[in-house]
Structure 1
Amino acid sequence: MPAYAVLGAQWGDEGKGKIIDYLASKANIVARFSGGNNAGHTVINDLGHFSLHLIPCGIFQDGVMNVIGNGVVVNPDELIEEMEVLKSSGLSLDGKLMISERAHLIMPYHIVLDNLSEKSKGNSAIGTTGKGIGPAYSDKTSRTGIRAADLLDMSGLKDRLENVMEYSNAVITKIYGGDPVCLDDLYQKCKIWADTLGSYIGPTGKFVNESLDNGGNVVLEGAQGILLDLDHGTYPYVTSSNPTIGGVSTGLGIQPRHISSVLGIFKAYNTRVGSGPFPSELLDSTAEKIRTIANEFGTTTGRPRRVGWFDGVAAAYSTRINGYSSAVITRLDVLDGFEELKVCVAYDLDGELIQELPGGVSALGRCKPVYETLEGWTTPTAGVSDIKTLPHAAKKYIARLEQLIGCPISIISTGPHRDQTIMPESVI
């Protein structure tokens, strides 16, 4: 049976959490495959308001296994804290959570290195979340990482830590002038992690593949978005993993043939957090109005998000890379009450009109948006669940986005709750 990928189609923060929570009711498994606790997925339900950074958004559905795949880098302290928050809300995690034995761990020295490196760059800083994501992936690539399976072999872990920390502490102290991380303290912390998380660690790749082979439905939960992808994003202002469709197979260990559909999640406008080019960015009162209405502040960092009009050039690029079978538009209700709306349909690069996202960060930074103006609407869309009741101008706006994205729009979100959703046809 099929797997359904749900991917961020912009710079992240598109509202994937609500959509995945909505679709999870028809799934057997919801699985994360990339990123770490730099992601922030918001779910609002009868139990409360939750910000999930590591645990997949299917955790609120009975009978759904939530998998943290091998492509995710896991901060054990953050994961344990997240688990405790859910338990304190009356949610049982028994039989509902599995961590890949192959997932790499974010260690305290990764966080130290991340922040020291970012600080040393001054005005040239990337704008990372400071969560240790990049250094953890760097260690994975250099084959010095610590994996979840290592917590199940404490006798062998200490020797590995000694070797790894000798180098990491040398970088911290001799290059950045920071304080070293204590080996004994970290080893004691690892014992706590092993006691708390050991029973959740297992062969997730085998588990997910067996479910697919036996007819199960799997929702693949993307983190961040394509424009932050290490290869296909606005490099170097990107994350350290692949939140695109190619990251699914490597980050979860499933065969591409199982993926039957790919949902691209788009906001009805654009946002991004941190540094980097953003062609359709608004720096006026309109941006502040959208930011205030939509509470556009990072779920993970709390930083104000940069705001811009919908970028059709980036959207078409996103579709070409990820091959969306359909798209989801979120936050449509945020645009209620605007007399007119703009969408970026091309870029002006040094006097030349282009409709392709440049690969070079300098060129993208010089791109000026070419806008098309559309009529706004005054009738509220907030909470609407029937497409027939959308204002005519809102329908025209959605139709134009569909043209620019290049695939059908299957879901429209008009609010943060599950029932504030328009879905004419089931996507699962």
Structure 2
Amino acid sequence: MNRLVPGDFCFESEKVTLVTSEQCAILRCPAPSSEMTAPQPCSARSAHHALRVSSGGEQCGTHCGRGLGGVRLPPAAQWSPEQERHLIHRGREEPKEGKRRVTQNTAGLQGWEERLKISDRAHIVFNFHQAVDGIQEQQRQQQAGKNLGTTKKGIGPAYSSKASRNGLRVCDLMSDFSAFEEKFRVLAGHFQTMYLTLNIDVDAELEQLKGFAERLRPLVTDGVYFMHKALTGPSKKILVEGANAALLDIDFGTYPFVTSSNCTVGGVCTGLGVPPSHIGRVYGVVKAYTTRVGVGAFPTEQDNDIGALLQSRGSEVGVTTGRRRRCGWLDLVLVRYAHMINGFTALALTKLDILDTLPEINVGVAYMVDGQPLPSFPANMDILSKVSVEYRTLPGWKCSTEGVRSFTELPPEAQEYIRFIEDFLQVPVKWVGVGKSRESMIKLF
């Protein structure tokens, strides 16, 4: 079983379409295969989760990061009619969003319901979680003069319910509804006590949830048993799909400007119930430049014409929030830190073509504080926000790479850029993205 982990602040579909002959490994845009499981271990709505897919020669999805729109949440294999139905989403499930996806998918995809499974252990994001998320952001702004920049989709409050052990899971919704109703009223009352301005129409929400339960019931499965069968039954090629970036990990990211779950490779075990011994290769997915959406330290950010050019050429806009992503030079200090945590077997370098027009390209190779180099990536965000970056300047290639289909066809300067990344990280680059189509992924193996 293999794992794809984004190695920076952002995660989006352009990160890569990975198709390997020996792995059947695909991220976001599945290719035909009869042997693939694409579970998501820890995920809910993501600001950057989108894709472009093709079915029967027609575009049936959307793609973020290239100005073609976006869709939220569904794991990649849901979009491919050729994928065997080994799909699971274990994380925070939002019933209203789930029902919306049911309606959307019925209109645009054939047989998708056979490929999408929801773990019965997934915690549920309710409307009041989203309302509380907004209240908390407003309070942070009023009290500290700044907020966390969340998507306000209720993810943090839902994880708080989970940690407080009063959260409700999909298995609760699927069982006796009267028992679920009692627990729901208690949980809603708990939040109303803490947030006096919170208005919850409990009866109306329960009526909605009752309808959602029946619509989603065919998709629900025992996620642990599902994965156990996939791992111990007839041989299958399994890919675990990351849904957020390594530097947004709740434990190892740029805390507190992070998400509420483990986005690093350990999330495979804690999010799916998969034994560590079953984890095989770990592929890091990194853009040729660095982006971040929302607030938080960003050492290599270019708040200038370079950043604007990267944002424009890369169509760097979050899907859920519509926020423009902040853009900057590739930060190899950050990527090296992500490698320390995840142990990348190989890298997929995407959106190389966005750099095509630049005469020279900077790469962040060290952090300095008071003239002294930092030995590692700092945990303290006050320190990270003050670092100066030591750059290595490499020549640009000033020509289009979008039509290139092999490494040797790339301009020598582009090849040098890729080899520099490999040498610095001591990790091989196995895929290079030079466009938005599946055919635009160069394989270096």
What TM-score comes out, normalization by structure 1 length? 0.94
Matched, 1:141 2:168: no
Aligned to 2:28: 21
How do 1:20-419 residues align onto structure 2 when only pairs under 5 Å count?
A: 20-22=27-29, 25-26=32-33, 27-46=35-54, 47-50=59-62, 51-61=70-80, 62-65=82-85, 67-70=87-90, 72-122=91-141, 123-153=145-175, 154-173=177-196, 178-214=197-233, 215-419=235-439
Distance 1:17 1:207, change over 3 A: farther
| 3-state DSSP of counterpart to 1:124 | coil
Aligned partners of 2:86 and 2:210: how far apart in 1? Answer: 24
Cα deviation digits, residues 186-207 of structure 1 (max 9, x gap): 1111111111101111112211
| 3-state DSSP of counterpart to 1:44 | coil
Aligned partners of 2:252 and 2:31: how far apart in 1? Answer: 28
> In the comparison of the two structures, how many residue pairs are matched?
418
Alpha-carbon offset, residue 379 of structure 1 = 2.5
The answer (yes or no) to whether the contact 1:8–1:222 under 8 Å persists in 2 is yes
Cα deviation digits, residues 233-286 of structure 1 (max 9, x gap): 011111100000011111011111111100000000000011111100101111
The answer (yes or no) to whether the contact 1:104–1:146 under 8 Å persists in 2 is yes
Query: For structure 2, which runs of at least 5 residues remain unmatched after alignment?
Result: 19-26, 63-69
Distance 1:318 1:74, change over 3 A: same
The answer (yes or no) to whether the contact 1:345–1:355 under 8 Å persists in 2 is no
Alpha-carbon offset, residue 219 of structure 1 = 0.9
Aligned partners of 1:187 and 1:17: how far apart in 2? Answer: 40
| 3-state DSSP of counterpart to 2:317 | coil
Partner amino acid for 2:231?
L
Aligned partners of 2:403 and 2:124: how far apart in 1? Answer: 40
Give me the CA root mean square deviation: 1.6
Aligned partners of 1:213 and 1:68: how far apart in 2? Answer: 17
The answer (yes or no) to whether the contact 1:315–1:404 under 8 Å persists in 2 is no
The answer (yes or no) to whether the contact 2:15–2:287 under 8 Å persists in 1 is no
Query: For structure 1, which runs of at least 5 residues remain unmatched after alignment?
Result: none
| 3-state DSSP of counterpart to 1:283 | coil
Aligned partners of 1:77 and 1:66: how far apart in 2? Answer: 23
Partner amino acid for 1:203?
D
Alpha-carbon offset, residue 179 of structure 1 = 3.7
The answer (yes or no) to whether the contact 1:317–1:356 under 8 Å persists in 2 is yes
Alpha-carbon offset, residue 29 of structure 1 = 1.1
Aligned partners of 2:221 and 2:109: how far apart in 1? Answer: 25
Aligned partners of 2:213 and 2:231: how far apart in 1? Answer: 29
The answer (yes or no) to whether the contact 2:289–2:329 under 8 Å persists in 1 is yes
Aligned partners of 1:312 and 1:226: how far apart in 2? Answer: 13
Cα deviation digits, residues 86-109 of structure 1 (max 9, x gap): 222243223111100000010011
| 3-state DSSP of counterpart to 2:39 | strand
| 3-state DSSP of counterpart to 1:169 | helix
| 3-state DSSP of counterpart to 2:117 | strand
Aligned partners of 1:5 and 1:332: how far apart in 2? Answer: 22
| 3-state DSSP of counterpart to 2:301 | coil
Partner amino acid for 1:113?
V
Aligned partners of 2:371 and 2:32: how far apart in 1? Answer: 50
Distance 1:131 1:116, change over 3 A: same
Aligned partners of 1:60 and 1:169: how far apart in 2? Answer: 39
Aligned to 2:67: none
The answer (yes or no) to whether the contact 1:67–1:204 under 8 Å persists in 2 is no
The answer (yes or no) to whether the contact 2:292–2:327 under 8 Å persists in 1 is yes
Aligned partners of 1:202 and 1:307: how far apart in 2? Answer: 40
Aligned partners of 1:234 and 1:288: how far apart in 2? Answer: 24
Name whichever structure is richer in strand by fraction: 1
What TM-score comes out, normalization by structure 2 length? 0.91
Cα deviation digits, residues 109-136 of structure 1 (max 9, x gap): 1001000000111132011011100000
The answer (yes or no) to whether the contact 1:326–1:409 under 8 Å persists in 2 is yes
Partner amino acid for 1:7?
V
Cα deviation digits, residues 281-339 of structure 1 (max 9, x gap): 10111111111111111122110101110001111111010000000000000000210
What is the aligned counterpart of 2:4 among 3, 6, 10? 6
